[in-house]
Amino acid sequence: MTEPDILFGVYCPPHPQPLLSPEASEGYGKLRDAYDTCRKRIEDSDADLILVYSTTWPSIIGHQIQAHPEPEWVHVDDDFHYLGSMPYKFRMDVEFAQSFRDAAESRGLQSRTVAYDGFPIDTGSVVALKLLNPENRIPACIVSSNMYANRAETIVLGKSARDAIQQQGKKAVVVVVSSLSNRMFTEHIDPAEDRIHSAKDDEWNRKILEFFGDGRLEDLSQLSREIHGQIRVQKVVAYKPAWWMSATMGQHNNYTGEVLAYEALHGSGGAVVMLTPSSETVGDKEFDEDDVEHYHGDRGVLDKGAL
């Protein structure tokens, strides 16, 4: 079977400032510029699917997949309502959503599509889709992040996405909506004076971005638990985006990474990163925990890494 056609991945923050108030600070403006760069790259590609995993869409009953063909609403953020409303109308790939659900179920996950008028699409998904795909030129799909899911479940969810991309023969852009460090200031601030909440958060964010810049996605996936303990507010059981992104795009470090922006969003770490599968860096990066399907005996770490 051929590999699924994943053109590139985008990791971007969920907060609405780059959409609603990019002029309020230099940092927000830079994040907006980075979104615009990604948008142009998507426009210039021959992608026919944008698949979004959003950390601001929590689910409880398994994994929910948006399947309304044209969800439409005026969204308002719980915290940043004073920045304005976010009217949206998106175009969803219903057939892909159904295929993704079937793939998830056949890998043992509880999953369902949701297609209801007025369903509350989350801030992160709205921001990402409005900025990355403003004309709805490319149909999209959004998948939730289950509150209770941990590593195995999240990785299997990513593999299901991969199955569906392959089965549907899509050329996909994979979008993960998540902060790096996610601790915001608990007071209202002057956006011009926004900064990362603490030096520790900033250091960790920069370390993560070094990995992203080197294309070491699987390494980040392996570091997820550490990242969760160090710089994530304990809202959910684990930091899952890198698990899902790696399982979906391919669990290796063979990517070209581009960090397009890294700025504070009310204290949290907001980064826009692009990861493109590469064939040029085979074997020069190692990772310590392979994803094993069949045991083939011991191996040298430098033997692995090719697509």
Partner 1 sequence: MAKGEIVLGCLAPHPPHVVYAENPEQNEAFSEGGWETLRWGYNRLARKLKTIDYDAMVIFTPHWQTYIGTHFLGLPEFKSKSVDPVFPNIFRFNYDISVDVELAEKMCAVAGETGIITKMMRNPDFRIDYGTITSCHMLNPEWDKPLVTISSNRNAHYYSPEVMNEQAGALGKACAKAIEDSGKKVVLISSHSLSHRHFVTESPLPEDMSREHIYNHSQYVWDMKLVDMMRGGKMREVIDIMPEYTEQTIAETEAGGLTWMMSAMGYPDYPAEIYGYQSVIGTGNLIAAWDPMEATREIVL
How far CA 204 is from CA of 224, 248, 274, in Å, comes to: 12, 24, 19
* Strand ordering across the sheet containing 5-12: 111-114, 63-66, 140-146, 49-59, 171-177, 5-12, 268-277, 255-265
137 in contact with partner 1 (CB under 8 A): no
Task: Please select the residue that binds partner 1; options are 165, 184, 261, 275, rule is CB under 8 A.
Answer: 184
Residue carrying structure tokens 């979104």: 35
**Residue 143 is a binding residue for partner 1 (CB under 8 A):** no
How many chain residues are in contact with partner 1, going by CB under 8 A? 35
- DSSP tag of 59: E
Number of helices (H) and strands (E) in the chain: give both, helices first: 9, 10
By CB under 8 A, tell whether 134 contacts partner 1: no
Contact 260, 38 (CB under 8 A): yes
Question: With respect to partner 1, which residue has the nearer C-beta, 111 or 166?
Answer: 111
- Pairwise CA distance, residues 104 & 165, whole Å: 12
User: Which of 284, 142, 302, 116 is closest to 215 using CA atoms?
Assistant: 284
Query: C-beta of 10: minimal distance to partner 1 in Å?
Result: 23
Half-sphere exposure for 162 (CA within 13 Å, toward CB): 20
116 binds partner 1 (CB under 8 A): yes
In the complex with partner 1, which residue's Cβ is closer, 114 or 282? 114
Nearest 10 degrees: Cα torsion 139, 40, 154, 234? -120
Q: Which is nearer to partner 1, 107 or 171 (CB)?
A: 107
Establish if 88 lies at the interface with partner 1 (CB under 8 A): no
Nearer to partner 1, 26 or 79 (CB): 79
* Cβ closest to partner 1, residue 61 vs residue 301: 61
57 binds partner 1 (CB under 8 A): yes
For partner 1, the closer of residues 133 and 144 by Cβ is 144
Residues 12-41: x/- map of binding to partner 1 (CB under 8 A)? ------------------------------
Q: Which of residues 194-253 bind partner 1 (CB under 8 A)?
A: 233-235
CB of 220 to partner 1, least distance (A): 23
Answer yes or no whether residue 114 interacts with partner 1 by CB under 8 A. Answer: yes
Please tell me the distance from the alpha carbon of residue 181 to that of residue 233, in angstroms, as a whole number. 8
Residue from the set 41, 130, 170, 183 that interacts with partner 1 by CB under 8 A = 183
* Tokens matching residue 166: 């392959």
- The DSSP secondary-structure symbol of 92 reads B
192 near partner 1 (CB under 8 A): no
Q: Which is nearer to partner 1, 5 or 105 (CB)?
A: 105
DSSP 68-91: -SS-EEEE--SS-GGG--EEEE--
CA distance 12 to 270: 7
3, 119, 306, 307: residue in contact with partner 1 (rule CB under 8 A): 119
Which among 55-63, 99-107, 220-228, 241-249 is the span making contact with partner 1, rule CB under 8 A?
55-63
Q: Segment 243-302, which members bind partner 1 (CB under 8 A)?
A: 266
Tally Cβ neighbours within 10 Å of residue 69.
12
Binding site for partner 1 (CB under 8 A): 57-62, 74-76, 78-79, 81-82, 84-85, 110, 114, 116-120, 122, 146, 148, 183-188, 233-235, 266
